[in-house]
Amino acid sequence: MKHLRYRVAVTALLYALLITAANIAKSAIQGVIVPPDNGKLRIICFGAHPDDCELQVGGTAALWAAAGHHVLLVSLTNGDIGHWREAGGPLAVRRRNEVRQAHQILGVQGVILDIHDGELLPTVENRREVTRLIREWKADLVLGHRPNDYHPDHRYTGVLVQDAAYMVTVPFFCPDVPFLKKNPVFLYYPDRFQKPNPFAPDVIVSIDSVIDKKLDALGVMESQFYEGGANGSTELVPSDLEKQKQRHQQVRQSFARRNQSLADRFRAKLADWYPAAEADQVKHAEAFEICEYGAQPNKDELKRLFPFFAK
Ligand SMILES: [Zn+2]
């Protein structure tokens, strides 16, 4: 009898372990520690490729992370055609390792979905995946590309994030993951495309205090920037040590300029968030536009979500 009870207990334990394993396997965010509810902000950023989130929101992500907020950067594709010399599995692994290093520098977590680069589509399956990720992260803020960005993967990332902007609150869509009772705020990254409408920023963040961290993080993604990614060539990769140093410096400066040009382009808007004298001094910025489909924050709510502003 005692023996039978023991066997029942062991069987029950094995079943419990199997069920737990099945649930973990179902989780869209394998390998990520979903943070506890501790009153800190929960931010999830989507990019098409393993470098997009880091480029678009790396500085603000570092600011949030330094203040103890929880940031997850998601790449919807594995980046496996993003190089002029190499492709496939080895490139996907290389990019995963690069972006992991970048996340360590920024102090954030990351996920890369195993979808081929250049082949992302706004399918129902991918809509479920994006919805699950936002729900599992219990996001307050969701960021993504605008759906009129230049690259098809960027556009469809934009569409997928928009498509999730209401569905995350619908109980019987993906009922395997608890729905969100409060719709998050959804935001777009900037781009330069004018049709059908240009990017119009609602929030501008000075990233001067973390610009070196951001440039360091971008610098470790050598396949994409130092070597030039899909449109690079052998000429970008000198064998001479001194020229290699120069090339690294050139990449760093081009990204610094990119964030400087955002600060200059939206300088007038910076004064909405920083005292005038400070706004004039901001050198590097990141900018975001509110998507109409999620929660619509007022200025106080935006200040709560971006707790960096002195004004
Ligand atoms: Zn991209």
d(CA 48, CA 240): 34
d(CA 141, CA 271): 23
d(CA 91, CA 138): 31
**What pTM did the predictor assign?**
0.91
The predicted-structure confidence for 110-160, as pLDDT tens digits, reads as follows: 999 999 999 999 999 999 999 999 999 999 999 999 999 999 999 999 999
Q: How many CB atoms lie within 10 A of CB 6?
A: 10
How close is the Cα of 9 to the center of ligand 1, in Å? 51
| Helix ranges (DSSP H) in the chain | 2-26, 52-66, 88-106, 124-137, 152-167, 211-219, 241-265, 267-270, 276-281, 299-305
The DSSP call for residue 178 is P
Burial of residue 78 (number of CB atoms within 10 Å: 0-12, 13-18, 19+): buried
**Quick check: helix, strand or coil at residue 6?**
helix
How close is the Cα of 277 to the center of ligand 1, in Å? 35
d(CA 49, CA 115): 10
Of 196, 166, 189, 182, nearest to 73 (Cα)? 189
The predicted-structure confidence for 166-211, as pLDDT tens digits, reads as follows: 999 999 999 999 999 999 999 999 999 999 999 999 999 999 999 9
- The tokens of 31 are what? 């390998």
How close is the Cα of 224 to the center of ligand 1, in Å? 10
Handedness of CA 35, 104, 159, 88 (dihedral sign): negative
User: Average per-residue pLDDT in the chain?
Assistant: 93
The arithmetic mean of pLDDT across residues 242-252, rounded, is 95
How close is the Cα of 119 to the center of ligand 1, in Å? 12
Strands 203-206 and 109-112: unpaired
Tell me what pLDDT residue 29 has.
Answer: 76
How close is the Cα of 163 to the center of ligand 1, in Å? 19
